[in-house]
């Protein structure tokens, strides 16, 4: 087996184009959006026009046809500027579009996946509920069969792009007596009667992004909108999280690099006790720890991306990358605030926003605690991944 850490020409071109847009076109808007806690749909539309929203979707379904490493690069470069930009990739690409690509039938791919990959429709993912987060089997949303339809009632909470999305993958219990085998995934549209949403304000971080709730009040869903098969919702939810967690990990790497770069810049400009603060050993120690975290996180992310490209199930590896990278980002942002001293406590410097944004990733798409339990179970042999009925497309050359 040949291992290479070189990015190919496509990777380099994607990184350059995302970096150019995010740092030059989106950055100033993001600062104002964060202050006002206001989301701008136009940024999503621009991301769609530039191909970011379908980067790893095959060309036949309106995407760019690039590999999973490319999705990681997009996520990293977007979160280097702000987490809210990367969140759009996570829920639209990772949790929804990749889920339809893996589990959807041809009709569903044409109807939902293609316009999403082309950026004409925005998509999200509804799993978390007011009383069910890590405990997926505890979800209370129910879908009752009614002829050729299912009637869905319930609610979802902490849904990114809740007020923005056109399409939704949502999960509901179709048989409460079957545990995780009684959960089914459905494809919903904004126009479906009985579906409503609202925004959550005053979040600690990701204030430039739209986060909210979904309510289902007798939402009528055709049976042809079942994703996968009846009762496969838990498997589908977990496989979607494999893709979403990859984007979260890659995004966290971008935030950690941004915190490092801001700290290096400040440490070479600020002086104390007659010299640059970067010449003080404890400041060097902070930056050295950032560098260690960045390098190790990147290796885990690249391994996970390589496995995805090969079509190898990577639940363990992706979860480990997500757990490590999000903690690296949090530690880097915290150290960056410390290096900036009093200025780090001010919104005039970007590290304050980085610290606020970095905290949420240790909760969503699998808490630190869930990731630790998973890794412990893998190591002890209590958890073994079985091949899924529907494998993700590989990108082997």
Q: At what angle do helices 281-310 and 68-81 cross, to 10 degrees?
A: 150
At 393, the pLDDT band (50, 70, 90 cuts) reads confident
**Is 397 part of any domain?**
no
End-to-end CA separation in angstroms for the chain: 14
Structure token digits, residue 124: 């999200």
Domain end point (choices 233, 266, 285): 233
Q: Are residues 132 and 220 part of one domain?
A: yes
Q: Are residues 361 and 257 part of one domain?
A: yes
Is the predicted pLDDT of residue 218 greater than 60, yes or no? Answer: yes
Structure token digits, residue 213: 């709730």
352 labelled catalytic: no
**CA dihedral sign of residues 102, 106, 110, 111:** negative
At 4, the pLDDT band (50, 70, 90 cuts) reads confident
Q: At what angle do helices 68-81 and 233-269 cross, to 10 degrees?
A: 50
Q: Are residues 100 and 53 part of one domain?
A: yes
**Is 224 part of any domain?**
yes
Domains: count for the chain: 3
**Catalytic one of 76, 317, 365, 369:** 365
Is the predicted pLDDT of residue 220 greater than 60, yes or no? Answer: yes
Burial of 300 (0-12, 13-18, 19+ CB in 10 A): buried
- Asked if 368 contacts 362 with a C-beta cutoff of 8 angstroms, the reply is yes
Q: Give the residue carrying structure tokens 């701008």.
A: 40
Across the chain, mean pLDDT equals 96
What domain range includes position 318? 237-380
- Asked if 137 contacts 129 with a C-beta cutoff of 8 angstroms, the reply is no
Q: Are residues 106 and 132 part of one domain?
A: no
Domain end point (choices 60, 93, 122): 122
> pLDDT tens across 307-351, in order?
999 999 999 999 999 999 999 999 999 999 999 999 999 999 999
């Amino acid at each position: 087996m040949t291992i290479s850490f070189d990015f190919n020409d496509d990777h380099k071109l994607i990184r350059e184009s995302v970096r150019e847009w995010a740092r030059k076109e989106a950055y100033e808007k993001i600062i104002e959006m964060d202050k006002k806690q206001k989301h701008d749909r136009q940024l999503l539309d621009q991301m769609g026009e530039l191909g970011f929203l379908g980067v790893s979707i095959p060309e036949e379904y309106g995407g760019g046809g690039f590999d999973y490493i490319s999705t990681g690069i997009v996520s990293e470069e977007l979160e280097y500027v702000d987490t809210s930009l990367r969140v759009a990739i996570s829920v639209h690409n990772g949790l929804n579009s990749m889920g339809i690509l893996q589990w959807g039938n041809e009709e569903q791919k044409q109807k939902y996946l293609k316009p999403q990959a082309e950026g004409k429709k925005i998509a999200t993912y509804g799993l978390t509920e007011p009383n069910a987060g890590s405990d997926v089997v505890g979800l209370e949303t129910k879908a009752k069969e009614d002829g050729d339809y299912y009637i869905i009632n319930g609610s979802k909470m902490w849904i990114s792009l809740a007020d923005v999305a056109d399409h939704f993958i949502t999960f509901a219990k179709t048989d409460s007596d079957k545990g995780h085998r009684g959960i089914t995934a459905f494809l919903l549209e904004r126009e479906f009667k009985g579906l409503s949403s609202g925004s959550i304000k005053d979040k600690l971080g990701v204030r430039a992004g739209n986060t909210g709730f979904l309510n289902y009040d007798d939402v009528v869903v055709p049976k042809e909108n079942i994703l996968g098969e009846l009762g496969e919702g838990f498997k589908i939810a977990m496989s979607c999280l494999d893709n979403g967690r990859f984007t979260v990990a890659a995004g966290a790497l971008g935030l950690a690099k941004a915190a490092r770069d801001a700290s290096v810049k400040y440490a070479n400009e600020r002086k104390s006790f007659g010299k640059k603060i970067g010449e003080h050993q404890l400041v060097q120690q902070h930056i050295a720890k950032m560098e260690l975290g960045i390098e190790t996180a990147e290796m885990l992310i690249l391994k996970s991306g390589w496995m995805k490209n090969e079509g190898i199930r990577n639940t363990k590896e992706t979860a480990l990358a997500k757990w490590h990278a999000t903690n690296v980002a949090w530690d880097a942002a915290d150290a960056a605030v410390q290096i900036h001293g009093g200025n780090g406590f001010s919104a005039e410097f970007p590290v304050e926003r980085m610290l606020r944004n970095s905290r949420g990733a240790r909760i969503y798409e699998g808490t630190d605690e869930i990731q630790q339990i998973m890794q412990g179970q893998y190591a002890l042999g209590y958890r073994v991944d079985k091949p899924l009925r529907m494998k993700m497309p590989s990108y082997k050359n």
